[in-house]
Amino acid sequence: MSKSLSLNEKPYGSPTPKHFTIVLILCLLALGLCVLASLAFGSRIIGFKELMDVLFNTSADSYDSDVIKQRMTRTVFSLLCGGALGIAGALMQAVTRNPIADPSILGVNTGASLFVVGGIAFFNIGTANEFILMACIGAAITAVFVLGVGSLGRGGPTPIKLVLAGAATSAALSSLVSAIMIPRSNVLDQVRRWQVGSVGGSSWSDIATFSPFLLIAILIAFLTAPALNALALGDETATGLGVRTGVLRLIASFAAVVLCGTITALAGPIGFVGLLATHLIRLMIGPDQRYLIPMSALAGAIVLTVSDVIGRILGRPGELEVAVVTAFVGAPILILLAMKSKVRTL
Amino acid sequence: MKPKHQFQAEHVVSGYEHRRVVHGVSLSIPSNRISVIIGANACGKSTLLKTMARLLKPESGRITLDGKSTDQYPPKQLARIVGLLPQSPIVPEGISVADLIGRGRFPHQTWLGGWTKKDYEAVAEAMEIMKITELANHNIDELSGGQRQRVWIAMALAQQTDILFLDEPTTFLDITYQVEILDLLTDLNRKHGTTIVMVLHDINLSARYADYIFALREGTLIAEGEPSKVISSDLIKDVFGLECTVISDPVSGSPLIVPIGRHHVNV
């Protein structure tokens, strides 16, 4: 065997996962393709030549260039949202040590929506910042509640218990959202599209508003990655390694909640992106959080943008909201993962 | 050789929410030796170990390292001196042996510093001591129970602490692996001077491998000392409620207990 040979070639315990460079290059290529597709496809399809023309010849002034400008906003917005959801998923999975944690599965997105809808109906909120604040509060309360309920009983927060607690909470909160919305036609109009989760109605000012929130949360995610690696070995091992597990969980959950809350406030509840992104990456480069978190951001951006493009193609001449697409792709994956984790943990 | 440390428990009372398990234990861990805590099921030996390894906060009393209470040390600094291998650590899915062992380096690393030469060396050395170098790139899922346990101990070794706590490191292992693990831990102690404190179930292996024994009954320390001086049929009756004869282990000369029971007694 060549096993003993590699001892001299590469130090063991190397911090860089196998195939990392290849995976990174593939992801970046995929991301580039996504961006091009997102600019080209829609109710009006723009050819590659025209696309290049508009992109590299800014003076070109045509109907195509207007369309592309509008799609540019949408593309940047969906890349940021997808990236944020990818990181939020990775953080939630690390904090709960649960492979099927995801903002939508734990009901956090629904909690955020409830607070936004409630804010519109009862407090007349309207600005993006107010939306974000309400959504973050809703996300935080729901996260605490679901984690609390899911941890009751023997064995702490097992994957199955968390998913059940999340699903039940999400269902209850969704019906509350409907109860608030349906009798109020003004609210209904304002949130009808938002409530499904879409990246279509975005503007540069939206992007400017939520970027600082994203930046802070992403910074926290990167800073906590090494400690989250220790937490993956269990609370006792992590404590033995010098991690304050309670503080770590609080900080990482805070970042996850801010990410989900911000995205939900501006795009509406979008599910399964975090789940898909993290599992795709984990399959390719393994469980090291220092690589998993940034790569999940990349994968999340790809997943959401591809879903958005698919939604635009399938829904022509209108469009299918991106959350509908992610749900259709994500739900079967969730079932697969749940079946697998049942074998492992029950 | 690892430096000498004074590690003490002072009147420690500890337990869980509704159940107090350790009732005022004071002890001093012999530095650079192997200590084993013995006792019947639910006597509080694991709880005592967890409290000493700061997994549990003592209700009263304190744990001190070199005269200073352990909760006054920054956690990472303490983790460079005192290490712990819990009873059932969690294996992240799809992790390789080397990656898992590398995680033991956490207390030595800073966020910006990343991996240094020292980290690589510590991981390589830990694998060498545990004789698992050839498994480095394997997935943990592929390993046997005995190999897994060696990987976990290697993770704790990569932490390069002077004191190492192990909570039942041989449970669920075949007798062959139990002896193998205890031999490896003894190597570690003899070669590097690492202070080892562990909970073991098997009295006879404890008597053979321990330099020093702490015997616990219902949360109190009732005897301590070298196995040859402490282990007697009276003590075993006291600790486990078991009638037995103590003879000299023909292999090691340490005390060997032979349980009596109700059947099959010829003498």
Question: For the segment A100-149, what is each residue's pLDDT rounded down to a tens digit?
Answer: 888 888 889 899 989 988 988 888 887 888 888 999 999 999 999 998 88
Number of domains in chain A: 1
The answer as to whether A35 is a domain residue is no
Q: What is the extent of the structural domain holding A180?
A: 74-345
A156 touches chain B (CB under 8 A): no
The more confident residue out of A53 and B254 is B254
Q: What is the pLDDT of residues A278-291, one digit of tens each?
A: 988 988 888 899 99
The CATH number that applies at residue A291 is 1.10.3470.10
A345 touches chain B (CB under 8 A): no
Q: Which helix (H) or strand (E) holds B165?
A: strand B163-167
The answer as to whether A207 is a domain residue is yes
The answer as to whether A12 is a domain residue is no
pLDDT for position A341: 58
SS3 B71: helix
- What does pTM read for this prediction? 0.88
The answer as to whether A321 is a domain residue is yes
pLDDT for position A344: 44
Cis, bond preceding A317 (omega within 30 deg of 0): yes
What is the distance between the alpha carbons of residues A64 and A73, in angstroms, rounded to a whole number? Answer: 15
Mean pLDDT of chain A: 84
pLDDT for position A140: 93
pLDDT for position B249: 93
Residue A185 has pLDDT above 90, yes or no: no
The answer as to whether A202 is a domain residue is yes
pLDDT for position A238: 95
What is the distance between the alpha carbons of residues A55 and B112, in angstroms, rounded to a whole number? Answer: 38
Smallest CA–CA distance, residue B21 to chain A, in Å, is: 19
Which residue in B75, B89, B105 is closest to A237 by CB distance? B89
Residues of B in contact with A242 (CB under 8 A): 74-80, 106-107
Quick check: A12 and B136 CB within 8 A? yes
* 8 A C-beta contact, residue B242 and residue B259: yes
Q: Which two tokens stand for residue A75?
A: 């593309």
pLDDT for position A207: 87
Domains within chain B, CATH numbers bracketed: 1-81+161-232 (3.40.50.300), 95-160 (no CATH)
Q: What is the pLDDT of residues A295-304, one digit of tens each?
A: 999 999 999 9
Mutation site for A-interface testing, chosen from B96, B129, B148, B151 by largest number of A Cβ within 10 Å: B96
Q: What is the pLDDT of residues A25-50, one digit of tens each?
A: 999 999 999 999 888 887 777 777 77
| Mean pLDDT, 10 residues at a time, chain B of 267 residues | 93 90 95 96 92 93 95 95 93 90 93 84 92 91 90 94 95 90 95 95 94 95 95 94 93 93 84
Residue A96 has pLDDT above 90, yes or no: no
pLDDT for position B217: 94
Q: What is the pLDDT of residues A199-257, one digit of tens each?
A: 777 788 888 888 898 899 999 999 999 999 999 999 999 999 999 988 998 999 999 99
The answer as to whether A288 is a domain residue is yes
The C-alpha R_g of chain B, in whole angstroms, comes to 19
Residues of B in contact with A344 (CB under 8 A): 93
pLDDT for position B267: 66
Smallest CA–CA distance, residue A107 to chain B, in Å, is: 25
Of chain A, the end-to-end C-alpha distance in Å amounts to 37
Q: How confident is the model at residue A3 (pLDDT cuts 50, 70, 90)?
A: very low
User: Which is nearest to A285 in space by CA: B124, B96, B123, B104?
Assistant: B96
The answer as to whether A42 is a domain residue is no
Q: How confident is the model at residue A60 (pLDDT cuts 50, 70, 90)?
A: low
The answer as to whether A108 is a domain residue is yes
